[in-house]
Amino acid sequence: MQKILVARGIFPDVIERLKQYFDVEWNDGDALPADELKRRLADKDGALTAGDPIDAATLAAAPRLRVVANMAVGYNNFEMAAFDAHNVLGTNTQDVLNETTADFGWALMMATARRIAESEHWLRAGEWKKWSFDSFLGTDLYGATLGVIGMGRIGQALARRAKGFNMQVLYHNRSRVAPEIEADLNAQYVSKEDLLRRADHVVLVLPYTAQSHHTIGAAELAQMKPSATLTNIARGGIVDDAALAVALRERRIAAAGLDVFEGEPAVHPDLLTVPNIVLTPHIASATEATRRAMANLAADNLIAGLGEGPRAGQPPSPINPQVLGKARS
Ligand code: DGY
């Protein structure tokens, strides 16, 4: 039987599915330190990860490893050049989380614009003594301009919801999407600078890469309207968190909602002390149904990628399908 490592806590019934095909080692505890992960992968044929870093050194130390299935759509934890060089298949969980993540983007954007967390903290602290016409004045969403940076599947699902709010949709992306998608979403392609200048609510939904590091830093925050909000449901590192804390404290933008952070689960201490922010612990895809779908898709990828089950050799969401069928090197 081939051996696999499930590197993270996951639904036990998915472990039972995997046991039908593999000898399963399961780390049901905290994320493994890099050295421990490397040691445990040394004799494995496959792995199921959830954001755990898999780099060239880890792959070199695991000569049997042929498939690593990430339980996430983002795979910036994989050094893909090394996967390609070693003919190791990486897979992700694309599509099954689009709608759930787009729902959450809206929840966070709305909570940010309408100051829900800030006012709740104030209420819980016993500060609410009287109703006042100017308490927690926020920013409207209905009829406002939405700026989406990153128009992949999740960005499109997010933009589609803007129709119900009668919003103008601007977007920026590495490449322009097909005209029929633009028409369906009523979305206009603009430069990043134009989007930052014109949007009332900016939402980040782009993948994290070396090129997207600090897509939003001090210079970009300075281009935004003082009344604008910023929501990040993409990845930590896309926003310069230190610069954002300064912009929020100085009210250069109205508010921010962050689900992801540079160096998470650590959070930049300055973000914890500014009031005009909503902070959530990377939960955009966290509904029972979607996390189950993600776990099962990761398992499907691993089973098929390692040549087992009804779809043997045809994993549903390969990142680098060109290595399929090639010998491990
Ligand atoms: C994803 O799928 O990339 C989500 O951010 C969960 O990690």
Give the list of residues 6+ apart from residue 222 with CB closer than 8 angstroms, or none. Answer: 247, 252
Q: Which atom of ligand 1 is nearest to the CA of 71?
A: 2
Exactly one of 153, 160, 213, 282 is catalytic; name it: 282
CB 97 near ligand 1, within 6 Å: yes
CB 295 near ligand 1, within 6 Å: no
At 325, phi and psi to the nearest 5? 85, -5
Map 19-35 to HEC letters. HCCEEEEECCCCCCCHH
Q: Which residue minimizes the CA distance to atom 7 of ligand 1?
A: 72
Query: Quick one: tokens of 42?
Result: 């040394």
> What string of pLDDT tens digits covers the 329 residues of the chain?
999 999 999 999 999 999 999 999 999 989 999 999 999 999 999 999 999 999 999 999 999 999 999 999 999 999 999 999 999 999 999 999 999 999 999 999 999 999 999 999 999 999 999 999 999 999 999 999 999 999 999 999 999 999 999 999 999 999 999 999 999 999 999 999 999 999 999 999 999 999 999 999 999 999 999 999 999 999 999 999 999 999 999 999 999 999 999 999 999 999 999 999 999 999 999 999 999 999 999 999 999 999 999 999 999 999 999 999 999 99
CB 73 near ligand 1, within 6 Å: yes
Burial of 74 (0-12, 13-18, 19+ CB in 10 A): middle
Question: pLDDT value at position 278?
Answer: 98
Does residue 235 have an active-site annotation?
yes
Exactly one of 25, 99, 182, 264 is catalytic; name it: 264
Query: Quick one: tokens of 173?
Result: 């992306």
Does residue 121 have an active-site annotation?
no
Exactly one of 17, 66, 86, 235 is catalytic; name it: 235
Question: pLDDT value at position 121?
Answer: 97
Q: Which atom of ligand 1 is nearest to the CA of 294?
A: 2
Question: pLDDT value at position 312?
Answer: 98
DSSP for 29-84 reads: SSPPPHHHHHHHHTT-SEEEESS--B-HHHHHT-TT--EEEESSS--TTB-HHHHH
Question: pLDDT value at position 109?
Answer: 98
Question: pLDDT value at position 276?
Answer: 98
Does residue 264 have an active-site annotation?
yes
The CB density around residue 129, as the number of other CB atoms within 10 Å, is: 6
Question: pLDDT value at position 26?
Answer: 98
CB 9 near ligand 1, within 6 Å: no
CB 74 near ligand 1, within 6 Å: yes
User: 282: phi > 0 → left, psi -120 to 50 → alpha, else beta; which?
Assistant: left
